């Protein structure tokens, strides 16, 4: 009789342990699958995002204007999370590599701002503040020290997902 009771307890423990382990396994698989789905969505968004530099100009020695077109299929926003990196030589020949922060207010030294978003040369009317496919954005940067004359320089603009547009400029 004692062995029957011990056997029943052992069988109950084995069944309970097996159920606990299978629940842990199912939870682990579910978590992994969710993570893979998020990675797939992020990768799809990156593959559908494309920026093309249109023009770069310098209205003055310390101001840089870059026009970029959204040639991808993804809407872009959150400009405060974009990266703006400029590599240039100043008037003394010193090489500068600067990451410039975004500003929504008055443009200060070594900052960049969103000047405008246009579609077909007209100011955007649909979803203001969002760079939709086919639209162009002008970003303006204030550099200090100023860019040197007769130098070749580069600017890189990057979205939060890591998609970049880079172009060269000359004063």
Q: Quick check: 132 and 77 in contact, CB under 8 A?
A: no
pLDDT of residue 35: 65
Q: Quick check: 155 and 64 in contact, CB under 8 A?
A: yes
pTM of the complete model = 0.76
Question: Would you identify the CATH topology of the domain 51-169?
Answer: Immunoglobulin-like (2.60.40)
Instruction: Map out the domains of the chain as residue ranges.
Output: 1-47, 51-169
CA gap 131, 156 in Å, rounded: 17
User: For the segment 87-120, what is each residue's pLDDT rounded down to a tens digit?
Assistant: 999 999 999 999 999 999 899 999 999 999 999 9
Give the HSE-up count for residue 45: Cα atoms under 13 Å, Cβ half-sphere: 12
Rounded CA Rg of the chain: 27
- Quote the distance between the C-alpha of residue 133 and its chain's center: 16
CA gap 87, 19 in Å, rounded: 60
């Amino acid at each position: 009789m004692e062995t029957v009771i011990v056997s029943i307890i052992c069988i109950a423990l084995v069944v309970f342990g097996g159920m606990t382990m299978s629940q842990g396994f199912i939870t682990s698989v579910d978590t992994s699958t969710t993570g893979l789905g998020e990675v797939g969505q992020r990768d799809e968004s990156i593959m559908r995002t494309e920026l093309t530099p249109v023009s770069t100009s310098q209205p003055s020695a310390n101001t840089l204007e870059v026009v970029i077109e959204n040639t991808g299929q993804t809407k872009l926003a959150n400009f405060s999370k974009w990266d703006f990196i400029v590599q240039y030589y100043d008037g003394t020949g010193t090489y500068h590599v600067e990451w410039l922060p975004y500003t929504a207010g008055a443009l200060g030294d070594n900052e960049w701002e969103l000047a405008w978003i246009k579609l077909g040369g007209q100011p955007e009317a649909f979803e203001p503040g969002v760079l939709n496919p086919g639209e162009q954005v002008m970003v303006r940067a204030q550099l200090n020290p100023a860019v040197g004359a007769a130098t070749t320089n580069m600017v890189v603009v990057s979205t939060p997902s890591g998609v970049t547009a880079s172009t060269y400029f000359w004063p």
